[in-house]
A and B are shown apart, each in its own frame.
Chain A
Amino acid sequence: MSETFKLQPLELIDYTLENGLRVVLNPDTAIPVVSMAVYYNVGSRNEREGRTGFAHLFEHMMFQGSENVPKAGHFQHIMKAGGTMNGTTSSERTNYYETLPANQLPLGLWLESDRMRSLAVTQENLDNQREAVKEEKRLRYDNQPYGQIFDLINEMIYKNFANSHSTIGSMEHLDAATVEDVQEFFRVYYAPNNAVLVLSGAFEIEEARAMIETYFGDIPKQNLPPDLDVSEPKEVAATYREWEDKLAPFPAFLIGWKIPQRRSPEFYALYLAGKILYDGESSRLYQKLVKGEESVIQLFGFTDERRGPSSIFVGAIPKPDKDLSKIRETINQEIHDLAAKGPTSEEMEKLENQLVNDAVRLRQSSMARAQAIAEFALYDGDPALVNRELGELLAVKPEHIRNAVGTYLHTENRALLDVVPAGQG
């Protein structure tokens, strides 16, 4: 099918302002909207001990006003322009993005540049957002059944503090954050030369370039922070933990492996192995466990893609009367089988169609395009990877998958977290 299908490459204009801000433009006039993504090269991996959760708390502060934009003005300006916006924090980066009617491009540039150059920080706003973040932590983690298991297993998989601690952080570390911490973090990490700006959608290239120069050109560059060491010992060594979850109605388990970094040949192979194992109703583990043995209520798996050591997970919520070790044995058998025989030709055909389908779907949305381009620009210094990644994935051969599974998905070198229901009910 790859003979009959050619993906149109995205048009990219890639340049850097004098102050070091990397800019990528992706003009596409299919719909009169424009999306803007600003990615800063700072995530929870940059946090110091005693300040877990700070990068994310800081992200909230970016909505609390700057020299010319009042508190909450960012929300209001974007919404009244008919736009949508948000920001997110991961271990790898902090991003801010908006999608606007195309004619509101100047508004987006004005808002993003104002907070890049002149964030306003007050004690009152910090206290208020600290409370909002604590409620976010309660909402997403503490008050959800199984809500804390991914943070727990990361502590088991990774040995380096930069990788192992959670992005949402701890309540006491959030409490310890000061206005001075916020100002210092802003100075060090929120510099134009530590960021990437991407526009995708309907705009005139020269007009956009001129506006970007006007709004961002005079923001001073800063000395960049030293490179971060995210290296890890290769081994997880078999680790085991039992976690009492007061809100969980059933036992569950989660298995995690440490694997090589994103975009490495091994990562690509394992990403595809994961799709074969747990993605969709035709996947091997769904057919074995949900169907077949009929032993699990829910099966899930995913890869956590990082610039340094990354990870892959498989988890299940078994039926109440089922033997958890037996289910894990089936998972191990499937992994062994994939390592021994590799994927079938039908599985390779499925992967090819799914990868092309995913790539086409991503290209529909100006925001999805902007975010993908921004990641490649920030992590790899090469936004044109957005046009090459599909080819790299399609080039993965069955033997690459077989070898990577055999090398990395050891049963002896994995973290296993057992969730034990511990509620009053």
Chain B
Amino acid sequence: MTTNFRQSPPEALSPIAFDIPRPFRTKLDNGLQVVLFPDERVPLVSYRLAFHYGDANDPKGKTGLTSAIASMLTEGTESYTSRQLAEKIERLGASLSAHSSDDFTVVSASSLSLYATEVLDMLAEALLRPTFPENELDLYRRNTVEHLKFQRSQSSFLAGEQAARLVYGEHPYATVSPNAADVEGLVKEELVEFHAKTFIPNNAILIAVGDVERNEFLKEVQAQFGDWQPETIPECSFAAPPERATRTITIVDRPDSAQSNIVMGNIAIGRTSPDYFPVIVMNQVLGAGASSRVFMNLREEKGYTYGAYTRLNTKKLAGDIEATAEVRNEVTGDSLKEFFYELERIRVDKVGDDELADAQSFLTGVFPIRAETQDGLTNLIVNQHLYGLPADYLETYRSNVDAVTVDDVRAVAEKYIHPDRMAIVIVGDAEQVLPQVESYAETIEVYDTEGNKK
């Protein structure tokens, strides 16, 4: 055989279809939506009980309340102390935890399907009958205050904190973390009250994925959650994110930094925007991966960084696009220059047909890989339901990606990327960074790592 076959990439074999399992859906009388996805590939089960209520819904002046309630669900219930709960769950080799994000609060549990019922019962115990013991709440407050200090030592936290503040203004997405006073002000009565008001069945969905027998599951759901009383869903209203008029630079002075952590962003789209598919394709060309433009430029050509990316944060009510890299101190200014070059280029010039096709085939091809593990499949399903995406969302995802054109990409780049109005945040050694970046914005402000203006 000659070596000619080596000269160009081989033809693909015939594609194999990939079908997402069909869900079974029902609703309890109290309004709790229940979705079961059969997944018999492995003897595992995953549960997510999710609320359409998250950190952004914290009442004014009560930042961190929802997050504290979520964390405290597993720290003591009517029948178990914190320690007994941990021992019971871990003795089954299972996991049980609760977390809040901007828009949602999710109680998660998973185990071998052998223990499907026990683990669902424990999820119900933690969710419905927490007691918020004073000693555990006190420990939570003190440990969380220390964690808040710890995260201030990390440049990625500091960059994210400033970028959110600048992009979201008065909108609650501007707050990425409570402060020490918020945490110290948490009191048991409030946790009890807000747990009763906000962890309610008519604002929630229970998703089960796994090797589970349907009738047994439904019987257990009814037994555990049937008596849970519905309440009025709390009303929330939010200020709109600001219209930014100019480009600004915010430096967080972190002396002894070995790199500058750059985040530059502006408001873009929420998760349910009709522009979602053109925007993710555009972002794939621009900076989502290791073959995207900004990575090829800042890392592979220039060697400024280990990785340069753009990323979309698409939340329920709004979202942003950010360009980001951690670069050595001396090339901070040069990195801004290359970022702006790429941000302008994708707005002005149409992307190549081949670039578009590559981005599309990545997004459609990687889809089954993301559904390979039960956790991966569960995450896809949970996001679809929480954001209220269409029932056929997972089935039509690939054709929606393939429908995007080069004109669509340019249109959304022009619409959502605003180099002249971006908020640029640089966490690094201000003395070294300032002279390099002065020419990039009229307004430059400097903060310390505590979040105070210098």
Question: Is A173's beta carbon under 8 Å from chain B?
Answer: no
Q: CA of A121 to CA of B180 in the docked complex: distance in angstroms?
A: 53
For residue A1, which residues in chain B have a CB less than 8 angstroms away from its CB? Answer: 114
Q: Mark B191-222, 1 if CB is under 8 A from A, else 0.
A: 00000000000000000000000000000000
Residues of B within 8 A of A68 (CB): 6-8
Q: Does A188 contact B (CB under 8 A)?
A: no
- B-contact 0/1 string along A198-228, CB 8 Å cutoff: 0000100001000000100000000000000
- The answer to whether the Cβ of A238 comes within 8 Å of any Cβ in the partner chain is no
Instruction: Please count the residue pairs between chain A and chain B whose beta carbons lie under 8 angstroms apart in the complex.
Output: 229
- Determine whether B236 belongs to the interface, using a CB cutoff of 8 Å to chain A: no
Task: Check A423–B306 contact: CB distance below 8 A.
Answer: no
Decide: A107 near B291, CB < 8 A? Known: A132-B305, A297-B143: no
CA of A281 to CA of B85, assembled, Å: 9
A360: chain B residues at CB < 8 Å are 42-44, 112
Chain B contacts for A31, CB-based, 8 A: 18, 41, 368, 371-372
Contacts of B61 in A (CB 8 A): none
- List CB contacts (< 8 Å) of A344-359 with chain B: 346, 349-350, 352-358
Proximity string of chain B (18-61) to chain A, C-beta cutoff 8 Å, 1 when within and 0 when not? 10000000000000000000000111100000000000000000
Q: How far is the CB of B145 from chain A (nearest CB, A)?
A: 10
Nearest Cβ on chain A to B320's Cβ, whole angstroms: 23
Contact of B258 with A142 in the complex, beta carbons under 8 Å: yes
Residues of A within 8 A of B1 (CB): 214
Residues 128-139 of A, flagged 1 when their CB comes within 8 A of B and 0 if not, give: 111111111011
Q: Is the CB of A143 within 8 A of B258?
A: yes
B364 nearest in chain A by CB position: A82
Please classify how large the interface on chain B is, using the bins under 10, 10 to 19, 20 to 34, 35 or more: 35 or more
Query: Is B361 in contact with A249, judged by CB distance below 8 angstroms?
Result: no
Question: What residue in chain B is nearest A318 (Cβ atoms)?
Answer: B146
Do B357 and A80 touch (CB < 8 A)? yes
Within the complex, the shortest CB–CB distance from A216 to chain B, in Å, comes to 12
Contacts of B42 in A (CB 8 A): 360-361, 363-364
**Are B326 and A107 touching (Cβ within 8 A)?**
no
B374: interface (CB < 8 Å): yes
Contact B139 A291 (CB under 8 A): yes
Q: What 5 A-B pairs are tightest by C-beta distance, nearest first?
A: A82-B365, A353-B93, A131-B303, A32-B16, A357-B93
Q: Residues on A close to B: CB < 8 A?
A: 1, 4-5, 30-33, 67-68, 71-72, 75-77, 79-84, 99-107, 109-111, 113-114, 127-136, 138-140, 142-145, 202, 207, 214, 246-250, 280-282, 287, 290-291, 294, 297-298, 317, 319-320, 346, 349-350, 352-358, 360-361, 363-366, 423-425
Question: B: which residues have CB within 8 A of A?
Answer: 1, 5-18, 41-44, 82-83, 86-87, 89-94, 111-112, 114, 139, 142-143, 146-147, 149-150, 152-155, 255-259, 289-291, 296, 299-301, 303-307, 326-328, 357-358, 361-369, 371-374, 448-449
